[in-house]
Chains A and B, each alone.
Chain A
């Protein structure tokens, strides 16, 4: 079974398969199959840790946000399924509950607590310092000193960060290559770094395409040189807002839409589907998490939070925890581009170019961000 999965992943990577059937087979086993690191961890998954209790606190989005809380939570569930760890969880509905929720989990004898989102940074640091016996991991956050900006994580707390600009760069290049109108669009949920990093990478990818191919593809919705501007739904829930922003961009000629707005971004995919233009999904493989739009997707920018969380839990359970910050990159597979959509029709030349750019980013020849 596992070998079959790994083989399938390898086949997808090698041939850039476009058939959705393969993907669905993979999707049944977990949410993220594209990243090499997961195949590695699952292939050596004999060890069981039934006495280890891994716990998780969400931010105010809740674990059913179809976005980063949910993906992180998948990591917890995968760890329970793969390593037999016990789990407990607490959802927060507002920031004043963060500290309470962590304490309450520690009272439930959790050995490891993962907190989701930078808003929990303070509460996580305080809890880590008060509970030296418990390991902590926090998604999308890095502990730094307020004065020197040097990393200063507590002994027992690990930041999990993701360089999502890198795969977004590839997505931007792909979007520019596939655009027939010469206009592509992106919009975000809120003007915050964890969102705009995607949009900046995307815009830079488009620029790179223009440089390399003498193109003049234009990006609507975000200009890295003007961080005050840009198109935002100002809400991660409001699908209608996402849809109307995307409709507006399509009205201005955009034929690829890249929404970075969590569930609100689904409205952008809806608009893409309605108008027969391309969409690119974020965080998870859209053909698995938003399968109804799979036919309209070029690809997805995958942020492997589930993989990182699962790995952090395994590290704590097996006693190899370090407080060194984890950086998901294209090189380690923590971030990646999902397999191309079933209708994306990416020819071999383009696929090879993207592979080449990916290698350039990994080698540091191209810096994103």
Chain B
């Protein structure tokens, strides 16, 4: 790391006109490096938390203060027990995420909705919109997809397509409302999406209280499970929603980078006034961006509802809608980044389960690690600062060169 770290910074400002693709790739290196550092740093803080919450370590620390005479014995104990606790927890994390076929399956199952909902946030980011509303868009998507899924009895294939279509349309409608409000009245999308999350939740609760959405003979706010025909078919133990998430990512990439609408989105995101002057319809861009974002959120919830054959409840979305924001931030609002970040968060979630069941580490730790990753990513100066301190200590002679570049 010390050898390569001055290099990328020096390369960025030098445009290499002959090889645009190589330049493109290399310009990402600092970002990739910062992200990896952020992940490592977050895991390091997590390791510290695991160590100081381990019973044996706590006891050793207590002994250390009670018997300062045996300092080295207890200091050694602290190190040994900390090492054990951290090793046990993190090996359970890795094992739970990728250690076996079923854990890998779990990782991918949890990644798919995160990727899709992350794309919903990503695409809005690119048009300069902050979509906090993935939760609400997913909830109404779940309501529509679920209703089609458990009420009708359609042939295989048709039923799935109908349920997915209902889900994405409902999501698109919900997202579209935000776009219309923004375009027509200038209402800020952060406010409207947050408010619509609440509206969506109470809409779901309202419908769940109706007999048509409840199980026969039950008053619980729990719908019947979706029919078999409406679930994603499984291939090698993985439901088809997972490849669909990747298809969605490619679609978003194409839309943003290759289509005219995507160009307009990026232009509006960069400078709405200039785009208007250039003759673009800002309203159209806002509405279509938010509708597409809602569509992606709707698709995301089908991966939970139709992929894992769930019932509709007001909690069916869980924390995916908000984690999607984190995923998009970590993925730097690019489709590829979102896919990678979604996989990472899916792995952390699945691994967190392993940590909890086999190492007894509370699941909140994973949330802390996820939050820290984003915190460190959002503070690249902090990361670079930490990296630079290390570099300065180790290779003091290299410093003038780096400073000159």
Q: Could you list which residues of chain A lie within 8 angstroms of chain B, going by C-beta atoms? A: 60, 62, 88-91, 93-97, 99-101, 103-105, 107-108, 118-119, 121-122, 144, 146-147, 149, 190-193, 228, 234
> A8–B217 Cα gap in the complex (Å)?
44
Known A119-B313, A122-B311, A190-B205; contact A93-B219, beta-carbon cutoff 8 A = no
B220 contact from A146, A193, A228, Cβ within 8 A? A193
Please state if B357 and A93 are interface contacts (CB–CB under 8 Å). no
CB distance from A275 to the nearest CB of B (A): 29
Please state if B205 and A234 are interface contacts (CB–CB under 8 Å). yes
Interface size for chain B: under 10, 10 to 19, 20 to 34, or 35 or more residues?
Answer: 35 or more
Please state if A95 and B315 are interface contacts (CB–CB under 8 Å). yes
Please state if A96 and B220 are interface contacts (CB–CB under 8 Å). no
> A149–B363 Cα gap in the complex (Å)?
37
22 example contacts (A-B, Cβ-Cβ < 8 A) are as follows A88-B360, A90-B357, A91-B362, A94-B317, A94-B320, A95-B315, A95-B316, A96-B304, A96-B308, A96-B310, A96-B318, A100-B350, A100-B353, A101-B357, A104-B354, A107-B357, A119-B222, A144-B217, A146-B215, A146-B217, A146-B224, A193-B220
4 closest pairs, A vs B, by CB? A94-B318, A149-B217, A193-B219, A104-B357
In the bound complex, residues from chain A placing their C-beta under 8 Å from that of B65 are none
In the bound complex, residues from chain A placing their C-beta under 8 Å from that of B363 are 62, 90-91, 93
In the bound complex, residues from chain A placing their C-beta under 8 Å from that of B356 are 89-91
CB distance from B99 to the nearest CB of A (A): 11
In the bound complex, residues from chain A placing their C-beta under 8 Å from that of B220 are 118, 192-193
A88 contact from B209, B224, B350, B357, Cβ within 8 A? B357
CB distance from B363 to the nearest CB of A (A): 5
Residues facing A in B234-255 (CB within 8 A) are none
Known A95-B310, A105-B357, A119-B313; contact A147-B318, beta-carbon cutoff 8 A = no
In the bound complex, residues from chain B placing their C-beta under 8 Å from that of A103 are 102
> A93–B205 Cα gap in the complex (Å)?
19
In the bound complex, residues from chain A placing their C-beta under 8 Å from that of B186 are none
CB distance from B321 to the nearest CB of A (A): 10
> A147–B311 Cα gap in the complex (Å)?
18
Interface SS of chain A: helix, strand, loop or mixed? mixed
In the bound complex, residues from chain B placing their C-beta under 8 Å from that of A95 are 310-311, 313, 315-316, 318
> A93–B308 Cα gap in the complex (Å)?
15
Please state if A122 and B225 are interface contacts (CB–CB under 8 Å). yes
> A94–B357 Cα gap in the complex (Å)?
17
In the bound complex, residues from chain B placing their C-beta under 8 Å from that of A228 are 209
Count of CB-CB pairs between chains A and B under 8 Å: 79
> A277–B110 Cα gap in the complex (Å)?
48
Q: Which residue of B lies closest to A228 (CB)?
A: B209
> A228–B225 Cα gap in the complex (Å)?
25
B318 contact from A60, A62, A122, Cβ within 8 A? A60
Is B159's beta carbon under 8 Å from chain A?
no
In the bound complex, residues from chain B placing their C-beta under 8 Å from that of A192 are 219-221
In the bound complex, residues from chain B placing their C-beta under 8 Å from that of A88 are 357-358, 360
Give the interface centre of A90, A100, A122, A190 by most chain B CB atoms within 10 Å.
A100
Known A190-B205, A234-B205; contact A97-B357, beta-carbon cutoff 8 A = no
In the bound complex, residues from chain A placing their C-beta under 8 Å from that of B311 are 95, 122
Q: Which residue of B lies closest to A232 (CB)?
A: B205
CB distance from A131 to the nearest CB of B (A): 14
Residues facing A in B307-328 (CB within 8 A) are 308, 310-311, 313, 315-320
> A144–B202 Cα gap in the complex (Å)?
28
Residues facing A in B281-340 (CB within 8 A) are 304, 308, 310-311, 313, 315-320
Q: Which residue of A lies closest to B225 (CB)?
A: A122
Give the interface centre of B350, B357, B360, B363 by most chain A CB atoms within 10 Å.
B357
Is B266's beta carbon under 8 Å from chain A?
no
Is B13's beta carbon under 8 Å from chain A?
no
How does the 8 Å CB contact mask read for B191-204 relative to A, with 1 for contact and 0 for none? 00000000000100
Is B182's beta carbon under 8 Å from chain A?
no
Please state if B202 and A234 are interface contacts (CB–CB under 8 Å). yes
Is B216's beta carbon under 8 Å from chain A?
yes
* 16 new A-B contacts at CB < 8 Å, known A101-B357, A190-B205, A193-B220: A88-B358, A89-B357, A91-B356, A91-B362, A91-B363, A93-B318, A95-B316, A100-B353, A103-B102, A104-B96, A119-B222, A122-B225, A144-B217, A146-B215, A147-B216, A234-B202
CB distance from B236 to the nearest CB of A (A): 18
In the bound complex, residues from chain B placing their C-beta under 8 Å from that of A93 are 318-319, 363
> A338–B307 Cα gap in the complex (Å)?
46
In the bound complex, residues from chain B placing their C-beta under 8 Å from that of A90 are 353, 356-357, 363
How does the 8 Å CB contact mask read for B86-103 relative to A, with 1 for contact and 0 for none? 000000000010000010
Q: Which residue of B lies closest to A191 (CB)?
A: B209
Is B106's beta carbon under 8 Å from chain A?
yes
> A352–B205 Cα gap in the complex (Å)?
42
In the bound complex, residues from chain B placing their C-beta under 8 Å from that of A119 are 222, 313, 315
In the bound complex, residues from chain A placing their C-beta under 8 Å from that of B310 are 95-96
> A296–B403 Cα gap in the complex (Å)?
67
How does the 8 Å CB contact mask read for B165-206 relative to A, with 1 for contact and 0 for none? 000000000000000000000000000000000000010010
Known A94-B320, A95-B313, A108-B358; contact A101-B353, beta-carbon cutoff 8 A = yes
A99 contact from B215, B222, B308, B313, Cβ within 8 A? B308
How does the 8 Å CB contact mask read for B151-171 relative to A, with 1 for contact and 0 for none? 000000000000000000000
In the bound complex, residues from chain B placing their C-beta under 8 Å from that of A94 are 315-320
Known A95-B310, A144-B217, A190-B205; contact A104-B316, beta-carbon cutoff 8 A = no
> A146–B224 Cα gap in the complex (Å)?
10
CB distance from B310 to the nearest CB of A (A): 6
Known A60-B315, A90-B356, A101-B353; contact A190-B221, beta-carbon cutoff 8 A = yes
> A24–B357 Cα gap in the complex (Å)?
33
CB distance from B287 to the nearest CB of A (A): 30
In the bound complex, residues from chain B placing their C-beta under 8 Å from that of A234 are 202, 205
Q: Which residue of A lies closest to B320 (CB)?
A: A94
> A191–B217 Cα gap in the complex (Å)?
16
In the bound complex, residues from chain A placing their C-beta under 8 Å from that of B353 are 90, 97, 100-101, 104
> A119–B357 Cα gap in the complex (Å)?
21
> A212–B219 Cα gap in the complex (Å)?
32
In the bound complex, residues from chain A placing their C-beta under 8 Å from that of B358 are 88, 108
A96 contact from B221, B316, B354, Cβ within 8 A? B316
In the bound complex, residues from chain B placing their C-beta under 8 Å from that of A97 are 318, 353
Give the interface centre of A88, A95, A108, A192 by most chain B CB atoms within 10 Å.
A95
In the bound complex, residues from chain B placing their C-beta under 8 Å from that of A101 are 353, 357
